[in-house]
Amino acid sequence: MTHIGSPQNIRVQGRLYLSDGRCAGFAVDSDDRQRVLGRLKEAVTRARSAEPDPLAGPVDRYNITTRGLGTDDVRYPNISIEDREEVALINEEACANVDGVIPVSCSYEDRRTVRAYASSKGIQAESASTFYEIQLQASCGERALSHTASARNFANVGSLPFGVDLARRLAALQGSDEVPLVSLPSTELPMVMDSRVMAWLIERIGPAFSQRAVAAGKTFVANNLGGRIASPKVHLMDDAGLHGGLRTHAFDDRGVPPIALPVIKEGLQAGLYYDPEAARAANIRPTGHLIDGDLRPGNLILLAGNRSRTQMLSEVPSSICFDHIDGNLNLRTGKLDVSGPAFLLEKGRRVGVIESVRLKTDIITLLSGVQEVASDQERFEAVDCATALIIGVPLHS
């Protein structure tokens, strides 16, 4: 069932700061200049009644670059309803072409956002960006899977055959004569985290590197500042200025252009996201990650290794490889409790399907078990990841 959404109403929202740090937010569901001006005047009045904050106020002047980000699709004004419908229908049909797979739903959304910043320090900047997303769900037998494809350019969601990939994954998880359903072996085996699964994990640990969350003790990073939280093979970068990245932005809410930030370097905690107030208190530069009032991760990149997945796994006699996982990661404690279907591999080749495997550990133990990261880096939403081989972490049926 295909759903093509209607255009949404325009909403203008923002936050203004007076020179002494007093501030107030505003929002109006219109781009009418007089209505926006009225809300701005109201915000000025409220800001004047607020408490001053010596660490707030306009940030220092930074060089903001709005070109070359690859986030504003020039095709956006010319995309027709028929173009949108075709993308959804092609992927639904791709699912239906695989025996036993039934497409359940496919929805499409796109939008263009314009962000602007101005300060009394003589800075004015405006940046436009587009966003496209398709969500496809299908079933095979009693199992259902969904896939979300998001991008900054229509061509990226319109040309990727993710409907085929979703259908093939569903069919493979049913088992076959060549790759039958099997039980989880009783012996402890290495674990293979496909790039898709690693991206799921990395996406969820990103907020743990917020300086606000660390200062409040709301993340496991608070007890491990500068310490080892992963194997030396793990290098995690945040680049909110990455060309074409899903979370790329020219500047944040306070007019700060983002910097490329290593959050894990050779397994050691290396960086945090700072807002202007905390950065001023620490006498450092803010990182440019303040979006909609919260410190948010940008594009996260798990740096790839040198060998292919095939080369890496050819040396592993047997291993367990998750297709996908679902469950909970407690950011405060770092406790991880997830499960999902998996394949039994022999030197990287599938020889069995396991209905469900449970992984119950903590994120530091898991990342510390990374023996190698392959070179097969892929992009999933706002995370670039490669397959990881992990040892020493028990699995349960």
Residue 116 one-letter amino acid: A
Distance CA 44, CA 47 (A): 5
Contact predicate 109/5, CB 8 Å: yes
Residue 72 one-letter amino acid: D
Residue 154 pLDDT more than 90?
A: yes
Q: How many CB atoms lie within 10 A of CB 281?
A: 12
Contact predicate 377/386, CB 8 Å: yes
Q: How many CB atoms lie within 10 A of CB 370?
A: 23
Distance CA 216, CA 283 (A): 20
Contact predicate 290/297, CB 8 Å: no
SS3 353: strand
Q: Tell me the mean pLDDT in the region 201-229.
A: 96
Contact predicate 261/273, CB 8 Å: yes
Residue owning tokens 């909110």: 240
pLDDT of residue 339: 97
Distance CA 376, CA 388 (A): 10
Contact predicate 220/208, CB 8 Å: yes
pLDDT of residue 8: 53
Residue 3 pLDDT more than 50?
A: no
| Average pLDDT value for the chain | 92
101-119 β-sheet, strand order: 2-4, 101-119, 123-140, 143-151
Q: Tell me the mean pLDDT in the region 38-54.
A: 91
Distance CA 42, CA 25 (A): 9
Q: Tell me the mean pLDDT in the region 1-23.
A: 68
DSSP lists the bridge partners of residue 119 as: 123
Residue 99 one-letter amino acid: D
pLDDT of residue 17: 82
- What backbone torsions phi and psi does residue 8 show, to the nearest 5 degrees? -95, 160
SS3 106: strand
Apex 383 CA angle, 15 and 202, nearest 5: 95
Per-residue confidence band for 303, with pLDDT thresholds at 50, 70 and 90: very high
Distance CA 337, CA 315 (A): 29
- What backbone torsions phi and psi does residue 390 show, to the nearest 5 degrees? -120, 135
pLDDT of residue 1: 36
pTM: 0.90
Q: What residues contact residue 33 under an 8 Å CB cut-off, 6+ apart? A: none
Q: Which bin fits 292, alpha (ψ -120 to 50), beta or left (φ > 0)? A: left
pLDDT of residue 4: 46
Closest-CA residue to 162 (of 140, 142, 135, 143): 135
Apex 168 CA angle, 165 and 170, nearest 5: 110
Residue 94 pLDDT more than 90?
A: no
Distance CA 130, CA 134 (A): 14
- Between 63 and 349, residue with greater pLDDT: 349
Residue 167 pLDDT more than 90?
A: yes
Closest-CA residue to 1 (of 148, 168, 133, 138): 138
Over residues 230-250, the pLDDT tens digits come to 999 999 999 999 999 999 999
Q: What residues contact residue 370 under an 8 Å CB cut-off, 6+ apart? A: 230, 231, 233, 234, 388, 389, 390
Q: What residues contact residue 93 under an 8 Å CB cut-off, 6+ apart? A: 103, 163
Over residues 245-289, the pLDDT tens digits come to 999 999 999 999 999 999 999 999 999 999 999 999 999 999 999
Domains of the chain by start residue, with CATH: 2-48 (no CATH), 76-173 (3.30.2290.10), 178-397 (no CATH)
Instruction: Measure Cα distances from 212 to 196, 273, 292, 293, 319 in Å.
Output: 29, 8, 15, 12, 39
